[in-house]
Chains A and B, each alone.
Chain A
Amino acid sequence: MQNSTYDLVVIGAGPAGLTAGIYAARARLDVLLLEKAAPGGQILVTDWIENYPGFPEGLSGADLIMKMTDQLKGFGVSIETNEVRSVDLEGSEKELQLSDRTIRAKTVVIASGAAPKQLGIPGEDLYFGKGVSTCATCDAPFFKNSVVAAVGGGNTAVQESLFLTRFVEKVYLVHRRRELRADKLLQERAFANDKVQILWNSNVTGIKGTDTGVSAVTIENVVTGKVVDLPVEGCFIWVGTTPNTNFLKDHVKLDEQGFIEVDHRMETSVPGVFAAGDVRATPLRQVATAVGDGAIAASMAADYIERRP
């Protein structure tokens, strides 16, 4: 085992990586899936998924990932809890340095995902876990009948703000533009919800607090320049994601935001190395798109091996 070379190593066991694993197993590749925390990734913090086809009633992120993991295990693939520390992708055999050993692979699918982006404002780190959060499903119950702020204007910001309304008295959704980027359906729900008040053209520029946690957020209106402190007990931040690519250094080509650039075969700038899901440069980051990426990446990895025995 220690000295063997895998056909394919998949880094990350979210929807993209799990799908790559399923397709690789069916292509009869000798495949290893690596996950540093737990299968699922960001989907674990998603309260409810209702745009992934096949589940008309919707389902929780945790339930969907459990089904995907079961499906993968049905094909005899297991997931190892281990972290990729660094990679060497130069040769025909790629080397991956794990926390306890080095492994080799003919092909690699990078499906390491992304993490919530930070605002980089005063108080954000200090009060993380004391009112500052990026996970409504984890933390909303701590804010029963409270007033909270949420930052962002995309699908995650709007959907999770709507989830917050089940617990809180009021959500101020702070958005830097005059219109939301979220799906129209979600926008309609937010506009119709009495507990959601949208503060347009506004940035959160600071988070204030006391020993017990967050007490206010500082809001700047980008049009009028007016600055106010808004008393809130929590501040939820959903302003996009940053890719998990630290272990890659400059081995593959990244775009200016650090996402991995791929072609239509999901192949990166390095032959035999593919990327799938949230970690790649893509206009849409959804379970549905991640799954498609994973299927293409694993199939093209199999194709690559076949062409170069």
Chain B
Amino acid sequence: MAGNIVEISDSTFGSEVLQADKPVLVDFWAPWCGPCKAIGPVMEELSKDYDGKVKFAKCNVDDNPVTPGNYGIRAIPTLILFKDGQQVDQIVGMADKSKLEATIKKGL
């Protein structure tokens, strides 16, 4: 994945997301999930559009079960927007660019 999207894990979630100095959109995904692949290119585009304003991250739920468990995630793709360590908004399922943008704007 492109340089603008940070790959996070259970161990880096705190420092990369909760303690981040700007809003973070986290994409919870897994390799076996078809619709998750569909969100990838949209995240790429948004990470360029909002470069410097919003941080974009992905979390592989297969390798990192703790974080999705803590947030009650039982469906992917799930995207959660965090700001100052708090959950601001959440999208479950396949979403188009305008829906993702609407969520991102809630953190700005």
| Interface of A toward B, CB cutoff 8 Å | 36-38, 40, 44-46, 60-62, 81, 83, 99, 128-131, 133-135, 137-139, 141-143, 211-213, 234
Contact = CB atoms under 8 A, between A and B. Distances in A.
A129 B79 CA distance: 11
Given A130-B72, A133-B75, A138 B37 contact: no
Contacts of B98: 36, 83, 99
Contacts, number: 84
A38 B37 contact: yes
Interface of B: 30, 32-39, 41-42, 45, 62, 72-78, 90, 92-98
Given A38-B39, A40-B38, A81-B42, 6 more contacts: A36-B98, A38-B94, A45-B35, A129-B78, A129-B93, A130-B74
Nearest to A131: B74
Which of B36, B92, B98 has the most CB atoms of chain A within a 10 A radius of its CB? B92
Given A38-B39, A81-B42, A129-B78, A138 B72 contact: no
Contacts of A142: 73-75
Contacts of B75: 128-130, 133, 135, 138-139, 142
Please provide the 7 A-B residue pairs with the shortest distance between their CB atoms, ordered closest to farther: A38-B38, A129-B92, A44-B34, A129-B75, A142-B74, A62-B34, A36-B96
B20 to A, nearest CB: 23
Contact of B32 (A40, A130, A141): A141
Contacts of A36: 96-98
A129 B92 CA distance: 6
Given A38-B37, A45-B34, A213 B42 contact: no
B100 to A, nearest CB: 10
A62 B34 CA distance: 6
A40 B41 CA distance: 14
26 contacts: A36-B98, A37-B42, A37-B94, A37-B96, A38-B37, A38-B39, A38-B41, A44-B37, A45-B35, A46-B34, A61-B34, A62-B37, A129-B74, A130-B74, A131-B74, A134-B93, A135-B35, A135-B93, A137-B34, A138-B93, A139-B75, A141-B32, A141-B62, A142-B73, A142-B75, A213-B74
